[in-house]
Structure 1
Amino acid sequence: MDMNKFSERAREALETAQGIVRRGPGNQLGTEHLLIGVLSLPGGVVEQIFSLLGVDKGTAMARANHYVQTAGAGRVGGPVGGDQLYLTPRAKAALDIAGQKAQAMGDAFVGTEHLLLGILLEGDGPGGATLRDLGITEEGIMRALQQIRSSGVDYEGQATGESMLKKYTRDLTALARDGRLDPVIGRD
């Protein structure tokens, strides 16, 4: 799992999920841990999605926490990082789907919204089941994301409504054409 492909907030969510596994009795990170990690970040795009969908984030968090506390051991998966944590096949599938969604949406990084989609679309894992039980669908998430992104702010808080060139530079040619540029500056 290449952490460089994840946004800063998505990395925070993954670190939170790993912390939950380390504090618990098991060593396997599942979709329920990923969901808690994504939901635990305050003020992000996932919080906005839940708000637009009219779903209580606290209810989703409580259900995911309940599953973590009552889940049995015995799942197998691949390594996540240090301290012998293992990624369940469902969690790996969710991360893969998140990467595919980010690419399909034209995003350079996997954000928390992509993680949410990956958890939902992974299949029958506890994270996705929790979301579906609350009435969250892929179409609903995509509509909410479209609303959020059309407002001009993306998941990292950067403006998407205007180009970076327009935001951080001046068009010197246009200024000179309008006579608003001092012609003496820059001459030797």
Structure 2
Amino acid sequence: MFERFTDEARQTVKLAMENARRLRHDRIGTEHLLLGLLEQPGTVSARLLNGHGLDHGRASAAIVQAVGAPPAGDLDADALESIGIDLSAVREKIEAAFGPGALDRSPSRDHRGILVSGRSIPFGPRAKKVLELSLREALALKSRDIRDGHILLGLIREGEGLGARILADTGVDLAALGTEVRAEIGGPPRQRP
């Protein structure tokens, strides 16, 4: 399915994974897809969401309020510093050797128990549903590709995940937003049964 995604839609998924990792969540949820959409200011989705008063910072704060803040790592840094280890210098050297963010990834093992780099975060069931619905929205609008707007339509249509809840709790009219997205990306308004 990802081969039909435009660059912006692929970037949404990539940013969703990065946001899940940053928040230290063990799966990608609808809330992370929402953050991925908001993190791309030049896209239809971000522009429309911003027009409804929702930006990345406000959505992130709503997620932290709903599920809690990521655990703090300052105690470990303080302990290392107290025995003369400069954690900043260690991080700098490790990232120079293994790439930016190397320490932010949890180690993982393959099926034989061997350590592998670059842990992938799985999609939660609601996020999978959003991506499936984005394909359905693209097909319904007779689009040959899946755009960021289709992902937003999938998020709206799924309607039960934390992403949709954040939209509703921040006062976004989901029906109006869906109509605006369809007008922007082309296609007639979807008829509800």
TM-score, normalised with respect to structure 1: 0.63
Match of 2:146 among 107, 110, 118: 110
Residue 49 of structure 2 aligns to which amino acid in structure 1?
Answer: F
Q: Which residue of structure 1 aligns with residue 46 of structure 2?
A: 47
Aligned: 1:88 with 2:124: yes
Q: Which residue of structure 1 aligns with residue 115 of structure 2?
A: none
Residue 154 of structure 2 aligns to which amino acid in structure 1?
Answer: G
For 1:85 and 1:126, how far apart are their aligned partners in 2?
18
Q: Which residue of structure 2 aligns with residue 128 of structure 1?
A: 164
Q: How does 1:1-188 map to 2 (within 5 A)?
A: 2-52=1-51, 54-57=52-55, 58-64=57-63, 66-67=65-66, 69-70=68-69, 83-149=119-185
Gaps of 5+ in 1: 72-81, 151-188
Distance 1:10 1:92, change over 3 A: same
For 1:24 and 1:48, how far apart are their aligned partners in 2?
24
How much does 1:68 deviate? Answer: 5.7
Asked if the contact 2:27/2:123 (under 8 Å) is kept, the reply is: yes
How much does 1:145 deviate? Answer: 3.0
Aligned length: 139
Asked if the contact 1:10/1:115 (under 8 Å) is kept, the reply is: yes
Higher relative contact order (CA 8 A, sep 6+): 2
Distance 1:12 1:66, change over 3 A: farther
For 1:108 and 1:59, how far apart are their aligned partners in 2?
33
For 2:182 and 2:49, how far apart are their aligned partners in 1?
14
Distance 1:138 1:3, change over 3 A: same
Asked if the contact 1:36/1:64 (under 8 Å) is kept, the reply is: no
Asked if the contact 1:32/1:68 (under 8 Å) is kept, the reply is: no
Residue 54 of structure 2 aligns to which amino acid in structure 1?
Answer: D
- Encode CA deviations 1:87-118: one digit per residue, 9 max, x unaligned: 11111111111110011011111111111111
Please, which moves more after superposition, 6-15 or 131-140? Answer: 131-140
Asked if the contact 1:94/1:122 (under 8 Å) is kept, the reply is: yes
- Encode CA deviations 1:118-173: one digit per residue, 9 max, x unaligned: 112213210011112233344312432355357xxxxxxxxxxxxxxxxxxxxxxx
Residue 53 of structure 2 aligns to which amino acid in structure 1?
Answer: V
Asked if the contact 2:167/2:174 (under 8 Å) is kept, the reply is: no
Identity of aligned residues (%): 29
TM-score, normalised with respect to structure 2: 0.62
Secondary structure of the corresponding residue to residue 25 of structure 1: coil
Gaps of 5+ in 2: 71-117, 187-193
Q: CA RMSD in A?
A: 2.6
Secondary structure of the corresponding residue to residue 29 of structure 1: coil
Residue 32 of structure 1 aligns to which amino acid in structure 2?
Answer: E
Secondary structure of the corresponding residue to residue 87 of structure 1: coil
Asked if the contact 1:33/1:68 (under 8 Å) is kept, the reply is: no
